[in-house]
Amino acid sequence: MIVVVGGQKGGVGKTTIAVNIAHEVSQDSKTLLVDADPQGSSANWHFWRKEQNLDACRLYQMKGDLYDPLLDQAELYQVIVVDSGGVDSIELRSALLACDIFVCPVRPGQFDIETLGKMNDVVEKARAQGNRELVARVVLTHTPTNPVMADEKEARAILNELSAFSPVKTSLKYRSAYWRTASAGLAVSEGDDGRATGEMQNLIKEVLNND
């Protein structure tokens, strides 16, 4: 299975989601984490983890056309998780031709939601170019913890209109646990916020099982 986490907007939690998926599935499956983002955030997370002598899956940094390299590595690993960064790039587009699942995180704000129109076209093009079975999921992140605020509800009304994507029911609330654990080389489940852990585990289960 090849899972790509990416999009056209930075700062929405792509690396956090990618490293947590990789950590979770690596408990039971031979897993490779691929950092295809020039910022190298997943590679930094992996380095910090190794510095603390914590268990970590294999990590490769890749750039350029990822299609053949990913398919080659798929012969060796049960699960590959690709952090493709927050930009429409050759890395993202080539990875979409090879992957099984595409996860696109966005915040429930106008400028973030507007980027999904282009991502919708990118996914449809990947399917037209041969990856007919590509599953595309959009995840809302940084959603308000205050139930009175209607940001998430309004955003979901727009997401349901996307032809190429299936929205993930689980959202990641605006919790400091997500960036505190990631910046320490930890998975969310290794932190002390049970609510964040539950959200992340539910999201991973939903994405991988395509619920």
Structural domains for the chain: 2-204 (3.40.50.300)
Low-confidence spans in the chain with pLDDT less than 70: 148, 211
Burial of 166 (0-12, 13-18, 19+ CB in 10 A): middle
Q: What confidence tens digit (pLDDT) does each residue in 123-149 have?
A: 999 999 999 999 999 999 998 887 767
User: Which pLDDT score, from 0 to 100, does residue 145 have?
Assistant: 83
Write b or e for each residue in 42-62: b if 16 or more Cβ atoms lie within 10 A of its Cβ, otherwise e. bbbbbebbeeeeeebbbbeeb
